[in-house]
């Protein structure tokens, strides 16, 4: 049995295209209540050690973003399947 697989680096181009877009316009689904929403519609808490985006429907955490010197961490476990528009691409 051989797996038809590549090194993860081969995803670099596709991931670069996605992570260069404006994430606030991306739509996803709340993992808790299944509401679909754009990330820009989330309730953002900023008086905290990081940014916390919560679902406007159920207050569940959608994403957490922590910014340190020279590093950042993004946890999106509260959102499933983000949909992006790719400007200029077909």
Stretch that binds another protein, among 1-9, 15-23, 40-48, 81-89 (CB under 8 A): 40-48
Residue 13 binds another protein (CB under 8 A): no
Candidates 9, 47, 88, 89: give the one binding another protein (CB under 8 A).
47
Tokens of 9: 């680096």
Q: State in angstroms the smallest separation of the CB of 80 from another protein.
A: 18
Residues linked to residue 28 through DSSP beta bridges, in sequence order = 37
Residue 34 C-beta: closest distance to Zn ion, Å: 7
Contact between residue 58 and residue 44 where contact means Cβ atoms under 8 Å apart: no
From residue 85, give the alpha-carbon distance in Å to each of 1, 18, 47, 72, 90. Answer: 38, 9, 30, 24, 10
Window contacting Zn ion (CB under 5 A); options: 9-17, 40-48, 56-64, 65-73: 56-64
Q: How far apart are CA 39 and CA 62, in angstroms?
A: 8
Residue 66-85 contact track with another protein, rule CB under 8 A, x = bound: x-x--xxxxx----------
């Amino acid at each position: 049995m051989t797996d038809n697989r590549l090194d993860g680096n081969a995803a670099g181009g596709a991931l670069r295209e996605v992570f260069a877009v404006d994430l606030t316009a991306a739509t996803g689904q709340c993992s808790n209540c299944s509401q679909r929403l754009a990330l820009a519609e989330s309730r953002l808490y900023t008086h905290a050690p990081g940014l916390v985006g919560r679902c406007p429907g159920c207050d569940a955490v959608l994403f957490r973003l922590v910014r340190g010197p020279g590093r950042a961490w993004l946890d999106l476990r509260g959102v499933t399947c983000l949909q992006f528009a790719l400007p200029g691409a077909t």
